[in-house]
Amino acid sequence: MSKKRIIHFFKNRSNIFNDTFVSQVESLEELREHYQHQFIFMDKSPDIHESSCCQYIYLEDSRTIVEKFLIMMNVAKQADLILVHGLFHPYYILLLACCRSLCSKASWVVWGGDIYGWSGNDLPIFYNLLKKIRSLLVQRIINNLNAIVTLSPGDYETILSTYVANAKHLNTFYPNPVLLRYFDQATQSRGQTNNATRNILLNNSATYLNEHIEVIDILKRKEEVPFNLICPLSYGDKESLVKLPQFIKYCKEHLGEKFHPITSFMDPSDYACLLRTINVGIVNYRRQQAIGTITPLLYVGAKVYLRKDTSIYKWLSDLGLIIFNVDELPDISGNEIFEFSEVFRNKNKNIITDHFSNSNYIKMWKVVFDS
């Protein structure tokens, strides 16, 4: 019996989640037994050893835009299923919007940010026009899609609030590289930190949508308890990065030595070690964001605060995880921010272990592959 041919469109191989997904497909026989995988990336071919069990194309190695489109078209025509991992790159959007026959055998794996396109407080007129064109093209794609695959079930509801969709809806998840690759290597644990000073992780990027200042203004009033506020700021939208010096100055003025910004990219193994030292994680993002940070925090027993009006809050609550509402922070004491029973810590770790297990991962992706 011939194998089902699946083409994966990715923006880049350098993204650690993309690379981890590819590695899992390469290593798990259950994901290759009945499927032939080909991966297409928009970046240059990396200097790494690649498995002979799959095929790889790096479009940046092509000379012209026409060459790129011809390669994508020819490969996609031969596929039984096309999986677009995030509708980020305009080439993929144009290809599917213009080729209905390809779109009908394509499934969109939603990342979250690809629902909205460009965002910002003051987008230039040109970008607003591009955003409207993009929305029209995405709606055209959705009209003809085989399936919409979400990492958080609430993302499908978000799509329905913006677009008209009749495609099948499926759920899955990406392997978390921090949990999968680096936690066993991490040498630090929360128990090794100084008990007198506890650590809070605020968000996972510099983007203004994280509403950092709102949380800073709450925490600056919790003077009765010592803590370190660790704030990853190494990436984000251009607007937020330009304003980063002013933001850091503001935080230093109100929190002093409690504030610890991370302004350079961390090695994933070092980031895993850092997460093991966190007592409380606060993600104030108003959209689905930071799953790759939230799930490891829950696994190591950190107390996690999210916005209750986000799809990720509902999804994690529905899984049975014990999480808390950011809106509670102004009304509780500094000590109460950290109070979290060992029973709840263990419950969260067990749920994360079960839901994000290899067996569940294989089961959910096989449903996507067979759709």
CATH number of residue 362's parent domain: 3.40.50.2000
Question: What's the structural domain count of the chain?
Answer: 2
Per residue in 257-278, pLDDT (tens digit) is 999 999 888 887 888 889 989 9
The pair of structure tokens assigned to 365 is: 């992706």
SS3 145: coil
pLDDT computed for residue 207 by the predictor = 73
What are φ and ψ of residue 227, in 5° steps? -160, 160
- 188 and 61 together in one domain: no
Per residue in 231-255, pLDDT (tens digit) is 998 877 666 677 788 889 999 999 9
**Mean pLDDT across the chain, nearest whole number?**
86
pLDDT computed for residue 282 by the predictor = 94
Per residue in 85-139, pLDDT (tens digit) is 999 899 999 999 999 899 999 999 998 878 865 555 455 566 678 888 888 999 9
- 165 and 182 together in one domain: no
Q: Which residues pair with 37 in a beta bridge?
A: 6
Question: Does residue 355 register a pLDDT over 60?
Answer: yes
Closest CA to 230 of 274, 261, 253, 267: 261
- 204 and 341 together in one domain: yes
The structure's pTM equals 0.85
Q: How far apart are CA 291 and CA 293, in angstroms?
A: 5
- 107 and 148 together in one domain: yes
pLDDT computed for residue 71 by the predictor = 92
- 115 and 245 together in one domain: no
- Quick check: 23 and 46 in contact, CB under 8 A? no
Q: How far apart are CA 344 and CA 349, in angstroms?
A: 9
- 140 and 208 together in one domain: no
Closest CA to 86 of 121, 42, 123: 42
- 72 and 170 together in one domain: yes
Domain that holds residue 210: 178-355
- 195 and 170 together in one domain: no
- 144 and 207 together in one domain: no
- 67 and 196 together in one domain: no
